[in-house]
Amino acid sequence: MDIIGDFHIHGRYAQACSKLTTLEDLERNARIKGLDVLGTGDAQHPLWFKEITSKLTEDENGILWTNNKFPFIWQSEISLAYTHNGKGRRIHHVVLFPNKEIVVQFTDALLKRGRIDYDGRPIFGMSSIEFLEMLRSISPGIELIPGHILTPYFGILGSKSGYNSVEECFEEKSKYIHALETGISADPIMGRRVSSLDKYNLVSFSDPHSSHPSRLGRESTIFDIKKLSYDTIIKAIRTGEGLKGTIEANPAYGKYHIDGHRDCGVFLRPKETKKLNCICPKCKKPLTIGVDYRIEELADREEPKNVPYFKEILPLHEIITSVYGIKLFSSKKIVEVYELLIKNFNSEYNICLNVPFDDLKKVVDEKLARVILLNRENKLKIQPGADGVYGKIILDEKDLISKQKNLKEF
């Protein structure tokens, strides 16, 4: 059976994340989104851990259940800041755990190296190799997945403090890395232009800084497994058996897809950036180099090979706000339309991926129904994001009319 999971989550104690997030919020909005299982996020944070253990019940398969029978698995993200091969590194890793006992041991190991109470995503001054060795000394069942690998800040292949390969980061320990998180500013096509990444499975998770459906599940991984358990999930991640594919956002939507300086209003494609020697034409300071440029630096083939199955869609809130010209997701009109669609079609994924045009236009106006289909076919025009600014949907009426003629539903 298909199980859709999002295993890069944060609770309300992580910095730069919503202080209102609760486990109840995560469950409710995961159901609305169409997710089948979530990571707990921030498993080692003492206050969040207390909430997890008081509100969720762990079974013998490493799955934690709410009272309403929604499943979670133990998960966290750790930030590492260190120097390796003569360069300062700032790297984020997603970590999955088999059970509560292992989480407690992990927490105890971290406490020997520093504080864990100030942030749900704490920073430690150890290398990725040291961190991986520590995890394996606790339990070989722990899984480390390098997070958003190509983003300039904190990705192991990012332009700011990253490496040129997984092997450069982990050296001989790279054999214990099985999967890589592509991140919102990249997709499997981009990743499969780099032959050194062929040996790693590609997964996608959303790294949401709130539990809102526009953030939760904006990227996720589809598993084809017979039984939901920690072991079946990890087996799929490690071997690819049972790893069906991913749901991705169009990478242009991501905050670091192309190069730029948001303060200067400068947003550039790789060819333009190269002509400027990576220097902002306005302030004359170095540009923030995005994922698109970084892929061009790392790629050793023009065409991708062995691209796994994936589907690209933008969050439904983005679609609705672009059609009605309203920026706020919380505006009365946007909330009404979104809730009407969910009421009629059960989940956001179902709406974005499956519901026929004729059924959509019975519930919402025809233009919105058409744009939902354009989103499904990945035919929306997007102004790419850069330097921490999300990409934006550009709805050109003439373009909309011409594209809709080629949609499968018309």
Q: State yes or no: pLDDT of 336 exceeds 50.
A: yes
> Rounded mean pLDDT of 95-101?
98
Question: pLDDT tens across 282-305, in order?
Answer: 999 999 999 999 999 999 999 999
147 Cβ partners below 8 Å, 6+ apart?
8, 77, 92, 93, 94, 154, 155, 181, 183, 207
Confirm or reject CATH 3.20.20.140 for domain 2-253, answering yes or no: yes
Contact 202, 217 (CB under 8 A): no
What was the pLDDT predicted at 409? 43
DSSP three-state, residue 135:
helix
Provide the residue ranges of all domains of the chain, joining segments of one domain with +: 2-253, 315-404
What was the pLDDT predicted at 159? 96
Question: pLDDT tens across 103-118, in order?
Answer: 999 999 999 999 999 9
Mean of pLDDT over the chain: 95
Q: State yes or no: pLDDT of 59 exceeds 60.
A: yes
Question: pLDDT tens across 381-391, in order?
Answer: 999 999 999 99
Q: 87 falls in which pLDDT band (50, 70, 90)?
A: very high
Closest to 182 measured CA to CA, from 153, 214, 228, 145: 145
- The string of DSSP codes covering 317-331 is HHHHHHHHT---TTS
pTM of the model: 0.95
What was the pLDDT predicted at 345? 98
Question: pLDDT tens across 10-20, in order?
Answer: 999 999 999 99
> Rounded mean pLDDT of 211-225?
97
> Rounded mean pLDDT of 208-230?
97
Task: Say how far apart CA 138 and CA 130 lie, in whole Å.
Answer: 13
Q: 396 falls in which pLDDT band (50, 70, 90)?
A: confident
Q: 1 falls in which pLDDT band (50, 70, 90)?
A: confident
What was the pLDDT predicted at 410? 37
DSSP three-state, residue 10:
coil
Contact 247, 187 (CB under 8 A): no
What was the pLDDT predicted at 95? 98
Strands 57-58 and 71-84: unpaired
